[in-house]
């Protein structure tokens, strides 16, 4: 396998991550707009908006770093997924039946993303890319190789 080519599992994983991010942004905006409209203290709407922007920026940044073969980003994504799943299950009694279907579908897609993210082929690619980055860092510049 060419180390410059991402494995198929990772390409599918990144695509699903971007789709889930886009879905989350659209869903978040649809939830955020009524809150902003009805919130009497404007500080509350600012807090929700800033949290929304920071949260989705963090997810976008993690996707970008996974795309750039940073293994730590896989760990952060996994931890955020686990944290999000725990929160959703703790608040399951407050969720309507129609929303429950969307949450279950989202959870299944995220489990599939997690599976692809830690697939043997994907893990091997991340390790190869790490070794390649280390070799590039350790290689002295060309001009120092030819000094007399």
Beta-carbon count within 10 A of 73 CB: 19
Beta-carbon count within 10 A of 13 CB: 26
pLDDT per position as a tens digit, 20-58? 999 989 988 888 888 777 766 667 778 888 888 999 999
- pLDDT for 63: 96
Four-residue CA torsion sign, 120, 103, 30, 45? negative
Backbone angles phi, psi at 80, to 5 degrees: -65, -40
Strand (E) or helix (H) holding 147: none
pLDDT per position as a tens digit, 53-72? 999 999 999 999 999 999 99
Percentage with pLDDT > 90 across the chain:
47
Angle at 132 between CA 126 and CA 138, to 5 degrees: 140
């Amino acid at each position: 396998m060419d180390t410059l080519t991402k494995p198929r599992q990772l390409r599918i994983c990144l695509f699903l991550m971007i789709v889930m991010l886009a879905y989350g942004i659209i869903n978040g905006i649809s939830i955020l707009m009524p809150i902003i409209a009805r919130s009497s203290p404007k500080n509350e709407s600012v807090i929700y908006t800033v949290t929304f922007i920071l949260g989705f920026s963090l997810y976008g940044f993690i996707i970008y770093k996974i795309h750039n073969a940073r293994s730590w980003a896989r760990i952060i994504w996994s931890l955020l997924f686990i944290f999000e799943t725990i929160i959703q299950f703790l608040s399951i009694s407050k969720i309507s039946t129609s929303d429950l279907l969307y949450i279950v579908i989202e959870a299944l897609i995220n489990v599939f993303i997690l599976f692809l993210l830690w697939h043997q082929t994907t893990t091997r690619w991340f390790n190869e890319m790490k070794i390649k980055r280390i070799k590039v860092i350790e290689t002295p510049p060309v001009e120092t190789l030819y000094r007399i």
